[in-house]
Amino acid sequence: MTLRLEGVGHAYAGRPVLRDITLELAEHRIGIIGANGSGKSTLARTLNGLVVPDSGRVLLDGLDTRRHAREIRRRVGFVFSDPAAQIVMPTVAEDVAIGLRRSGLSGAEIDARVAAVLERHGLAGHRDHPAHLLSGGQRQMLALASVLVTEPEVLVCDEPTTLLDLRNTAVIEDTLRALPQQVVLLTHHLDSLADFDRVLVMDEGRVVFDGAPADAAAHYTALMRAGAAAAAPEEGRPEARP
Ligand SMILES: Nc1ncnc2c1ncn2[C@@H]1O[C@H](COP(=O)(O)OP(=O)(O)OP(=O)(O)O)[C@@H](O)[C@H]1O
């Protein structure tokens, strides 16, 4: 199973946010880091066809997201930063089950799969609770469970721990780490990617580094320092003083 981007470019209202990106994503765990607005989310969204690029193409095992959107969405799951974006049903179990409505499984099979996923992710005791009464960490776990129940081959997670405290961040990260399927994780937490197979650094719509986690973290830190230095007022300039 391989995701491939070929010459991918995308613009919003004429402003380029992805610039000629060519990549093959085959490793088990891939991280993407980069400054706010560098194009990470847009890139991630091209991977399951949520965004169809203006130019170039994105392929999953040769299937183009432009033409095979439904098949690709089934195989590439997507988890958003804010679980509110994907929790749609009143109760926890109903929310997990909704992803299986077109699976062709029987009601009993759906119930069994939902129960297994809730059990695996520590939500079995909340089966019939309203989703909005869960804690932030439980809500994100529910959003993750609702995607995992469909058994995607790839999971793309767009900053899934941004709204969580350190404990829940660790719980979600440990869950992602233990998944058998390919995971593409966007994050601002460089430590979370320490044992990843590959980390991409994005800057202004381009992949400016692609390699081992420690090297990517160093590259990103240097990039951010250079950006901060360029933006800071020059020392000693009279107009820069308070
Ligand atoms: N639907 C949209 N319409 C218009 N502009 C958009 C849209 N989505 C993103 N943008 C803009 O495109 C640029 C890249 O956004 P994107 O969300 O891909 O970056 P990001 O690296 O994920 O940022 P962050 O770390 O802040 O989430 C930003 O300037 C953003 O404002």
| Ligand 1 proximity of 17 Cβ (cutoff 6 Å) | yes
Beta bridge partners of 64: 59
User: Does a structural domain hold residue 237?
Assistant: no
Q: What is the pLDDT of residue 232?
A: 75
Q: Which residue has the tokens 């085959």?
A: 26
Which tokens go with 129?
């609770």
State the Cα–Cα distance between residues 66 and 102, nearest whole angstrom: 21
pLDDT exceeds cutoff 70 at 236: no
Binned at pLDDT 50, 70 and 90, residue 234 comes out as low
Return the residue whose CA atom lies nearest to atom 27 of ligand 1: 36
In a domain, 239, yes or no: no
Any atom of ligand 1 within 6 Å of the Cβ of 205: no
Index of the ligand 1 atom closest to the CA of residue 188? 25
Average pLDDT (69-90) is 92
Residue 241 placed within a domain: no
Position 242 scores a pLDDT of: 46
**CATH number, domain containing residue 221:** 3.40.50.300
Instruction: State pLDDT tens for residues 168-219.
Output: 899 999 999 999 999 999 999 999 999 999 999 999 999 999 999 999 999 9
pLDDT higher than threshold 60 for residue 239: no
238 domain residue, yes or no: no
Q: What is the pLDDT of residue 235?
A: 56
**Domain tally, the chain:** 1
Domain with 56 in it: 3-225
236 occurs within a structural domain: no
Mean per-residue pLDDT for 28-49? 96
Judge whether 34 lies within some domain.
yes
Of 84 and 196, the one with more pLDDT: 196
Mean pLDDT, residues 96-105: 90
Does 37 have pLDDT greater than 50?
yes
Q: Which residue's CA lies nearest to atom 8 of ligand 1?
A: 42
Looking at residue 103, what is its pLDDT?
A: 87
pLDDT above 50 for 71: yes
pLDDT digits (tens, 9 = 90+) for 106-147: 999 999 999 999 999 999 999 999 998 899 999 999 999 999
The pLDDT, as a whole number, for residue 163 is: 87
Nearest CA to ligand 1 atom 28: 37
Strand order in the sheet with 182-186: 76-79, 154-158, 182-186, 29-34, 198-203, 206-211
| Rounded distance between C-alpha atoms, residue 59 and residue 48, angstroms | 9
Q: What ipTM is given for this predicted complex? A: 0.96
Q: What percent of the chain has pLDDT over 70?
A: 96
Examine residue 69 and state whether it is found in any structural domain, yes or no: yes
127 CA → ligand 1 middle, Å: 35
The DSSP bridge partners found for residue 199 are 31, 211
Asked if residue 241 has pLDDT above 50, the reply is no
Kindly state whether residue 174 falls inside one of the protein's structural domains.
Answer: yes
